[in-house]
């Protein structure tokens, strides 16, 4: 049985005061939840303040990005070591906004994956096809490339520190969710690919979560799919009530 994993990616939203208010609301509203991992990813500048609120919490912190070197002349960048120092246990890597808006390649993303794993944190590796790729029947080809190259030179043992987030680009921030069946089909493909690249045990253990317009109204159906182990939530994670309902999904 894979432990469900629900994460909120706050993207470029919320001041430190607003972030603290939201983590306080989530912390007090979710204390009883013990059977799933709960993660929030505020902006860099809010991380240490959020970490103080969450020091004793069942909610863990993630960063939204990192640079693949721990120190040096890299003006403007933040390293995995510093994110761990700030209180993070997870780092999101390869989000489609970083691929599309900042030109990140699979090779660069792979360096980040390895740098995060080297610190002992867990990496949330995002993959997903664009609408054009889906309509051109390239979905599986794209997913295979992103997984294969993103996880290059990662050993089977290190896969315990990897969560894969399938986020079809056409479903992000559009209100257009993948259907339960479309998402399940992609997750099943990714899991079989992990079995090929590593082995069956790794594939059975790795958590593959869905992202793209996840809301209180669609989370239960998505999480009922056998290969969907959780959610990476954007917009709906900015409201305490919505995110708490998503965390409390009912897949039974």
- Give the span between the Cα atoms of 20 and 35, in whole angstroms: 24
3-state secondary structure 102-157: CCCCHHHHHHHHHHHHHCCCEEEEEECCCHHHHHCCCHHHHHHHHHHHHCCCCCCH
Size of the site for ligand 13P (CB under 6 A): 14
Residues 129, 167, 204, 250: which is the catalytic one? 167
For ligand 13P, the closer of residues 45 and 100 by Cβ is 100
Closest CA to 129 of 117, 111, 144: 144
**Helix, coil or strand: residue 67:** coil
By CB under 6 A, residue 232 contacts ligand 13P: yes
Closest approach, Cβ 223 to ligand 13P, in A, equals 14
Residues sharing a CB contact under 8 Å with residue 158, sequence separation 6 or more, in sequence order = 117
Query: Considering the rule CB under 6 A, would residue 234 count as an interface residue with ligand 13P?
Result: yes
Q: Which residue has the tokens 């921030």?
A: 173
Which of 207, 220, 227 has its CA nearest to residue 246? Answer: 220
Shortest Å distance, C-beta 42 to ligand 13P: 13
Minimum CB distance to ligand 13P, residue 19 (Å): 16
Indicate if 167 belongs to the active site: yes
Selected from 233, 242, 246, 249, the binder of ligand 13P by CB under 6 A is 233
Map residues 78-97 to x or -, x wherever contact with ligand 13P holds by CB under 6 A.
Answer: -----------------x--
Q: Name the one range near ligand 13P by CB under 6 A: 12-20, 80-88, 166-174, 196-204.
A: 166-174
Does residue 235 contact residue 177 with C-beta atoms inside 8 Å?
no
Length of the chain, please? 252
Q: Of 120, 136, 155, 173, which one interacts with ligand 13P (CB under 6 A)?
A: 173
Select the span of 14-22, 147-155, 191-199, 210-218 touching ligand 13P (CB under 6 A). Answer: 210-218
The C-alpha R_g of the chain, in whole angstroms, comes to 17
Question: Given the rule CB under 6 A, which of 143-151, 154-162, 184-192, 229-237 is the region that contacts ligand 13P?
Answer: 229-237
Of the two residues 83 and 125, which places its CB atom closer to ligand 13P in the complex? 125
Active site residue 18: no
- Cβ atoms of 133 and 139 within 8 Å: the answer is yes
Contact residues: ligand 13P, CB under 6 A: 9, 95, 167, 172-173, 211-214, 232-236
Residues identified as active-site:
95, 167
């Amino acid at each position: 049985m894979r432990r469900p994993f629900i994460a909120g990616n706050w993207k470029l939203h919320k001041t430190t005061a607003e972030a603290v208010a939201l983590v306080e609301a989530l912390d007090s509203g979710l204390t009883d939840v013990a059977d799933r991992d709960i993660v929030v990813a505020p902006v860099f500048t809010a991380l240490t303040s959020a970490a103080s609120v969450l020091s004793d919490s069942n909610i863990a912190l993630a960063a939204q990005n990192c640079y693949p070197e721990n120190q040096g002349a890299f003006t403007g960048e933040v390293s995995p070591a510093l994110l761990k120092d700030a209180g993070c246990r997870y780092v999101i890597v390869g989000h489609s906004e970083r691929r599309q808006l900042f030109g990140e390649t699979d090779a660069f993303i792979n360096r980040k994956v390895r740098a995060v794993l080297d610190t002992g944190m867990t990496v949330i590796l995002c993959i997903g096809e664009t609408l054009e790729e889906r309509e051109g029947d390239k979905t599986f080809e794209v997913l295979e490339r992103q997984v294969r190259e993103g996880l290059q030179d990662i050993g089977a043992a290190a896969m315990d520190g990897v969560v894969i987030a399938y986020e079809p680009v056409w479903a992000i921030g559009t209100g257009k969710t993948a259907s339960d069946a479309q998402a399940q089909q992609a997750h099943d493909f990714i899991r079989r690919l992990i079995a090929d690249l590593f082995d069956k045990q790794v594939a059975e253990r790795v958590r593959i979560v869905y992202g793209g317009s996840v809301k209180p109204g669609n989370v239960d159906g998505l999480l009922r799919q056998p290969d969907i182990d959780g959610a990476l939530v954007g917009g709906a994670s900015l409201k305490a009530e919505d995110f708490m309902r998503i965390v409390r999904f009912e897949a039974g």
